Structure 1
């Protein structure tokens, strides 16, 4: 078995590249099934968020070039478009990378907890698509356990730092008093929920939650004393918003330049602060060219996030030590899997010998042999059968001067040095 990881993230690829290779949640079942059907792919998990697209695979050999070819073909991109931005890990490096991702050590916001939920969603998608087997299943469960250990044993999650927190912090810099402002949040996922809570805690005057599913918008709005609308109602409410934060899974822009221009006209050129956290982007890039619009995408939040990281860096060093030991632990488990077929073969062989010896003993009893004699014959016969081949191989190793086999036999049978 060969474990590999291919990916791009916020550190290696700009947003316009990441959005080319992002997987919509509705695409994942088809994508997982298609990749799983590729030659030599035994197991696969696909993680796709606004900051990263990663493919985790178990292969039956080390020829993994087919994964990149499939990725370009699936997204209808020219070959090697992704090459300058790609990272590729194998074996223990692939394990270490997944553990670091699960613990938030590879995130734009160091130690952020949302990625763990996204990993669990990716795991569930693969489970439902029947592309998850023993090895990747065990690895992801191990990653979840390590992330929990890191959260418990370090202070990695103590500071309220996230992309949503960074967006609200930037809004506070532009609007000194959020108590006079109206915020329009587009989406109802984890990031938007965090942004809503941060805005609510900072005394925002009014919150409007827009989502494709109005029930989800209502559920979030009730928690933050907000007002829910559907996406189709956005044009009617955009002019009310001083702050717009958007994070949906839409493959097409939610807000275009024309709609924003009309809203500005209604506002009599009163500025709007916009943060587009989505990948692919929810707000057309041309919107940022308009006067009185302050548009930031997810990559623009890095500087704000950096200011809030220092308290987590010492904890991250502790987390790396935990991860190093847990990589070794999982690699040891993988090595034991190589021994399983050998152990099974030995046991099957021994059971076959046992059955043959038992049949012979039962026949001897039927022929009138004394039970004590039949039992003694059974023990002698089974012992000879079990030890015949190992004894022959060890004698041969003496002729071949193969001391390694003799040493291995001493360890295998726990034989102490004879004095």
Structure 2
């Protein structure tokens, strides 16, 4: 059996193509059933995310790979009603060890848009689950994915590929967590209700802050965000009066002028008895006046400060990625060796069965001869001679073929395998 992958991802295809050939959860069962009917395919798994669509296939070793490639491309195009011949440059095909290494890299977050992101492993596991539920897994494909999950765990535990944040939103949350230990005693104000603030709110939610306030220009836009965090909604003009009630302010609006000024923060500190405050300003132009950094017990981080953290962490992840690549290459080689051994075992079984059939055929003839009164010694001698000749016939012919065709390495391997000494 061999493994092959057909795919497109964010590196090879624009979103316009990726969305055309994406498989939603609603159609994945139908797609797997359809693909699994293909006569050349032993097993299949389909992974489809916003950044990639990949089809993993196991097939017989002797299968014409080019024929399989064209056939699966045709199936993909027909299923989505897309002319795949127009997108040949976007499609990649990986086979054998390269395919195994690619899948290991994908599951480990090595091939993601954000290096080391952990969500992809869950998506690979979900894709495997869909294939399993639809009975589309060959034994070897099942073994491959079990190996993949094990390798992804090794990469996570033995390298720092996912240890450091590489998003500004998450960096903001880490800063807040580093300055304040007991989050359930803290109050947070989110200024704005756009994508960045929404993403930050997801990271903040598990920390169970005491109270969250969402300040936004329009109440309607803040409602959805506030409902997910059980937050209070206020208007932007109310910030000045409510600032004293919060410990952390995270702001990201489209305001052309600062919303929070030095004077406002000075009055707030006095009302709070100068307890420390953290301001994280992700807006461009800035929402918070830079001068507040001059005030005692005030910490201000801008988008540039957070970006420096991200860039530093990206460098660390790049170093970890090299370590991860060694692990992946080693593990892929081990799996391919296992696959080759499994393939060879089938030949060994076939060879043993052939020998057993020859023996059984000659045994029957010998027993029949004895029943008909033939001399037992003569029958056994004839049985031994014929058994020997039949068992050594194929190896002898192969040795002669290797010798006459000057295949020195083949001859040596065969000789050694047959227990022969060099002459």
Work out whether 1:321 is the aligned partner of 2:330.
no
User: Does the residue aligned with 2:57 lie in a helix, a strand or coil?
Assistant: strand
- d(CA) in 2 for partners of 1:172, 1:328: 38
Work out whether 1:201 is the aligned partner of 2:186.
no
* Kept in 1: contact 2:12–2:90 (CA 8 A): yes
Compute the displacement of 1:405 (Å). Answer: 4.8
- d(CA) in 1 for partners of 2:157, 2:323: 12
Structure 1: runs of 5 or more not aligned: 187-191, 209-235, 246-263, 275-300
- d(CA) in 1 for partners of 2:71, 2:162: 38
Compute the displacement of 1:394 (Å). Answer: 3.4
1:107-126 pair list within 5 angstroms: 107-126=112-131
Closer/same/farther in 2, CA of residues 75 and 396 from structure 1, 3 Å limit: closer
Closer/same/farther in 2, CA of residues 205 and 101 from structure 1, 3 Å limit: same
Compute the displacement of 1:391 (Å). Answer: 2.9
Further displaced range: 78-87 or 116-125: 78-87
- d(CA) in 1 for partners of 2:224, 2:237: 12
* Kept in 2: contact 1:109–1:305 (CA 8 A): no
- d(CA) in 2 for partners of 1:195, 1:38: 46
Work out whether 1:387 is the aligned partner of 2:392.
yes
| TM-score, scaled to structure 1 | 0.64
Further displaced range: 134-143 or 337-346: 337-346
User: Does the residue aligned with 1:12 lie in a helix, a strand or coil?
Assistant: coil
- d(CA) in 2 for partners of 1:172, 1:99: 29
Work out whether 1:240 is the aligned partner of 2:223.
yes
1:306-345 pair list within 5 angstroms: 306=311, 308-345=313-350
- d(CA) in 2 for partners of 1:272, 1:83: 45
| TM-score, scaled to structure 2 | 0.63
Equivalent position of 2:190 in the other structure: 181
Work out whether 1:141 is the aligned partner of 2:124.
no
User: Does the residue aligned with 1:156 lie in a helix, a strand or coil?
Assistant: coil
User: Does the residue aligned with 2:188 lie in a helix, a strand or coil?
Assistant: helix
Compute the displacement of 1:120 (Å). Answer: 1.4
Equivalent position of 1:43 in the other structure: 43
* Kept in 2: contact 1:182–1:240 (CA 8 A): no
Work out whether 1:413 is the aligned partner of 2:418.
yes
- d(CA) in 2 for partners of 1:194, 1:372: 91
* Kept in 2: contact 1:99–1:146 (CA 8 A): yes
Equivalent position of 1:259 in the other structure: none
Q: What RMSD over aligned residues (CA atoms) do the two structures have, in Å?
A: 4.7
- d(CA) in 2 for partners of 1:140, 1:207: 45
* Kept in 1: contact 2:190–2:251 (CA 8 A): no
User: Does the residue aligned with 1:181 lie in a helix, a strand or coil?
Assistant: strand
Compute the displacement of 1:98 (Å). Answer: 0.6
Compute the displacement of 1:355 (Å). Answer: 1.1
Closer/same/farther in 2, CA of residues 369 and 55 from structure 1, 3 Å limit: same
Specify the structure having the higher radius of gyration (Cα). 2
Compute the displacement of 1:172 (Å). Answer: 9.1
- d(CA) in 1 for partners of 2:10, 2:210: 30
1:211-290 pair list within 5 angstroms: 238-240=221-223
* Kept in 2: contact 1:6–1:86 (CA 8 A): yes
Compute the displacement of 1:29 (Å). Answer: 0.6
* Kept in 1: contact 2:194–2:252 (CA 8 A): no
Aligned residue-pair number = 342
* Kept in 1: contact 2:171–2:310 (CA 8 A): no
- d(CA) in 1 for partners of 2:53, 2:407: 50
1:62-211 pair list within 5 angstroms: 62-63=66-67, 64-80=69-85, 82-83=87-88, 85-159=90-164, 161=165, 166-169=168-171, 179-181=188-190, 196-201=202-207, 203=209, 205-206=211-212
Compute the displacement of 1:36 (Å). Answer: 2.8
* Kept in 1: contact 2:191–2:251 (CA 8 A): no
User: Does the residue aligned with 1:104 lie in a helix, a strand or coil?
Assistant: coil
Compute the displacement of 1:143 (Å). Answer: 1.5
- d(CA) in 1 for partners of 2:331, 2:140: 15
* Kept in 2: contact 1:241–1:272 (CA 8 A): no
- d(CA) in 2 for partners of 1:79, 1:120: 27
